[in-house]
Amino acid sequence: MTAPMMSTVAVVGAGVIGRSWALVFARAACNVRVYDFVPEQAKRARAWFEAELDRNRVGGVLTAAQTAAYRERVRWCGTLEDALANAEYVQESGPESFELKESIFAELDQAAGSEAILASSTSAHDIAEITAGLAAARRCIVAHPVNPPHVIPVVEVLPGRETTNEVVERTCAFLAEVGQTPVRLKRYVPGFLLNRMQAALVREAVNLVDSGVADVDAVDAVIRDGLGLRWALLGPFGVAHTNADGGIRSYFARYGEAYRDLMDDLGPTPTFDAALVEHLGRGTEAMLRGVSHAELLRWRDRLVIGIRELKRANPLPVRDGADPGPGAKPD
């Protein structure tokens, strides 16, 4: 494996997201420095990391040499200064609180190298606000992963007002190099792309159960054995394109009015009160029929990796400037 463009990376905050980032970077041959302000959290992250490597070695996914190499690349640091020394890229993954992020970035501004890229895993906040007034603001950027990033590749990349284009480009290039799929947003909106679309789907899913149209398992089945099978391959626009013989223009020309009526009929924001959450909890437990939380996560990870391998082995046959061949041009 050739050396990555950022040879030393710091992960600051070692919760569920931070620990998974550590694995992403170690896998890509970076030197990884992990730190958490809460020593107990760092300890749990290290235990998870070790268990994950062991499980993958026993399962034949990783060789003993690979697990040894990954282990060797990660240092679990006792101080922030130690974690930041020589780091060219910092992935902040602290708790999702504006005040905490603001205070962490103020520390990074002081303690990180003067050219280091300071990326935040925030799913909720505007990096321009978090880093307002900091000297490092031009090097700060959102790099919001999907849980867990060592399994799901998409990372939403969003610069602040002061972030330079060079920082955006280098962040995207680095994320692609370590095996992720960077996706660029042009401007800040709450929830970015991912959580807005997830919230839209969840809102309607919750309404369908809450209003008694169907139970939890029925709603989930429509996604996992229906819409989700297409969405693992094509987003909503790609799917729309496949759903009419004439492609997406003809799809929206034909169904736009029906869509408008349906969209106007969608349910309101649910309360998420205790009774509703209990109802959803019971329905979900009934659906999962005794599968433990840990088993479910392992199953999800294994199958997501399987789907990604299937896609890698069968790329979409794009033409990209090559001779489109006979039949590809309109008559």
Q: Which of residues 139-178 bind a second copy (CB under 8 A)?
A: 146-147, 152-154, 156
The residue from 99, 115, 320, 331 that contacts a second copy (CB under 8 A) is 320
| Nearest one of 205, 185, 74, 45 to 122, comparing CA atoms | 185
Under the binding rule (CB under 8 A), the answer on residue 61 touching a second copy is no
**Which is closer to a second copy, CB of 37 or CB of 231?**
231
CA-based torsion, 171, 175, 176, 178: positive or negative: positive
Q: Pick from 51, 61, 135, 296 the residue near a second copy by CB under 8 A.
A: 296
**Residue 222 engages a second copy in binding (rule: CB under 8 A):** yes
* Cβ-based nearer residue to a second copy, 133 or 290: 290
Cβ 12 to a second copy shortest distance, Å? 21
Binders of a second copy among residues 230 to 249 (CB under 8 A) are: 230-238, 240-243, 245, 247-249
By CB under 8 A, residue 277 contacts a second copy: yes
Task: Tell which one of 116, 134, 172, 280 touches a second copy (CB under 8 A).
Answer: 280
Q: Does 46 bind a second copy (CB under 8 A)?
A: no
Binding status of residue 253 toward a second copy by CB under 8 A: yes
Q: Least distance in Å: CB of 86 to a second copy?
A: 31
Position 55 contacts a second copy (CB under 8 A): no
212 binds a second copy (CB under 8 A): yes
The yes or no reply on residue 38 touching a second copy (CB under 8 A) is no
Interatomic CA distance for residues 318 and 302, integer angstroms: 28
92 near a second copy, judged by CB under 8 A: no
**Min. distance of Cβ 329 from a second copy in angstroms?**
10
The two three-digit tokens of residue 36, written as one number = 């958490």
Q: Which of 258, 275, 312, 331 binds a second copy (CB under 8 A)?
A: 258
Please give the residues from 115 up to 134 whose contact with a second copy meets the rule CB under 8 A. Answer: 124
The residue (of 71 and 260) whose beta carbon lies closer to a second copy is 260
In SS3 terms, the chain reads as: CCCCCCCEEEEECCCHHHHHHHHHHHHCCCEEEEECCCHHHHHHHHHHHHHHHHHHHHCCCCCHHHHHHHHHHEEECCCHHHHHCCCCEEEECCCCCHHHHHHHHHHHHHHCCCCCEEEECCCCCCHHHHCCCCHHHHHEEEEEECCCCCCCCEEEEEECCCCCHHHHHHHHHHHHHCCCEEEECCCCCCCCCHHHHHHHHHHHHHHHHHCCCCCHHHHHHHHHHHHHHHHCCCCHHHHHHHCCCCCHHHHHHHHHHHHHHHHHHCCCCCCCCHHHHHHHHHHHHHHHCCCCHHHHHHHHHHHHHHHHHHHHHCCCCCCCCCCCCCCCCCC
Q: How many residues bind a second copy (CB under 8 A)?
A: 120
Residue 299 structure tokens: 């199953």
Q: Which of 16, 38, 58, 173 binds a second copy (CB under 8 A)?
A: 16
Q: For residues 106 and 197, which CB has a smaller minimum distance to a second copy in the complex?
A: 197
Considering only the stretches 5-13, 65-73, 171-179, 319-327, report the one whose residues sit in contact with a second copy under the rule CB under 8 A.
Answer: 319-327
